[in-house]
Amino acid sequence: MCMQFKMIITVAAFKGGVGKSTTALHLATYLQSMADTLLVDGDLNRSALDWSNRGCLPFKVTDEKQGINLVKLYEHIVIDTPARPDPNELKTIAQGCDLLVIPTTPDAIALAATLQMVEAIKQFKTNYRILLTLIPPNPNKAGEEARTALLKAEIPLFQSGIRRLAVFQRAALEGVPVNVVKDPYAKIAWRCYTEVGKEICNNSK
């Protein structure tokens, strides 16, 4: 059984649009299948709350204010955060979780922002891992190249990555996680996040 004890996972990145909310939402979906999970939407844009208002999510979503009262009632907590956190927010993010997941797309601009973030959180001794997201399909090699560069820099990285699949956008529109979308790619898309979930569980044992 995965994760016997309570775990707080925060998803954060310096750059916008790299899949933070999508990642937070699907990790919460994965964890909910094991124990009651709360998704705290710490983004003023309220992506996760909007997502849940549009459709139906299998776990509870709340804002930061309500989250404070609810946290003790849930086994696992996933926190979604806004892009470009200021230094104070970054300190709270880096110190307030058991695992910090940093999604990054495999392009040079996002990777540079990711390296900056890794540098900025070093002082907090945070347990963090990079997650490659929106990986373009073959023959594009951007995903593999980014992986090689990150590993060479000895930056902790999830072995699994998240492919760029339109079904993720459909899921957001429908207000559901990708595993319940009726689409031939739904299974492949969901597997990307279950693999990440398994890695998190195996490392927390």
Ligand X SMILES: Nc1ncnc2c1ncn2[C@@H]1O[C@H](COP(=O)(O)OP(=O)(O)OP(=O)(O)O)[C@@H](O)[C@H]1O
φ, ψ of residue 60 to 5 degrees: the values are -80, 135
Name the residue among 129, 185, 165 with its Cα closest to residue 22: 165
Radius of gyration of the chain (CA): 16
**Secondary structure class of 14 (helix, strand, coil):** coil
**β-bridge pairing 60-63 and 99-104:** unpaired
Are 76 and 7 a contacting pair, CB within 8 Å?
yes
Partner that binds at residue 133, options ligand X, Mg ion, none, CB closer than 5 to 8 Å by kind: ligand X
What, of ligand X, Mg ion, none, does residue 127 touch, CB below 5 to 8 Å by kind? none
Q: Which of 77, 93, 110, 162 binds ligand X (CB under 6 A)?
A: 162
Percentages (nearest 5) of helix, strand, coil residues in the chain: 50, 15, 35
Is residue 20 close enough to count as binding ligand X by CB under 6 A? yes
Q: What is the number of other CB atoms lying within 10 angstroms of the CB of residue 181?
A: 19
Q: Looking at beta carbons only, is 3 or 193 nearer to Mg ion?
A: 193
Q: Strands of 55-96 (E only): list them.
A: 60-63, 76-80
Among 15, 20, 163, 164, binds Mg ion (CB under 5 A): 20
Among 61, 110, 117, 172, binds ligand X (CB under 6 A): 172
Token reading at 131: 């997650």
In angstroms, give the least distance from the CB of 175 to ligand X. 12
Q: Is 47 in the site for Mg ion (CB under 5 A)?
A: yes
Helical (H) or strand (E) element with 168? helix 167-174
Does residue 52 touch ligand X according to CB under 6 A? no
Q: Which is nearer to Mg ion, 3 or 27 (CB)?
A: 27
| Residue ranges in 90-129 that form contacts with Mg ion under rule CB under 5 A | none
Contact with ligand X (CB under 6 A): which of 9, 18, 111, 150?
Answer: 18
How many Cβ atoms from other residues are within 10 Å of residue 199's Cβ?
Answer: 15
CB of 172 to ligand X, least distance (A): 4
Q: How far is the CB of 87 from ligand X (least distance, A)?
A: 18
H/E segment holding residue 93: helix 87-95
Closest residue to Mg ion, Cβ-based? 21
Tell me if 42 contacts ligand X by CB under 6 A: no
Residues that bind ligand X in the complex, under the rule CB under 6 A: 16-22, 43, 45, 47, 83, 133-134, 162, 164-165, 168-169, 172
Residues that bind Mg ion in the complex, under the rule CB under 5 A: 20-21, 47
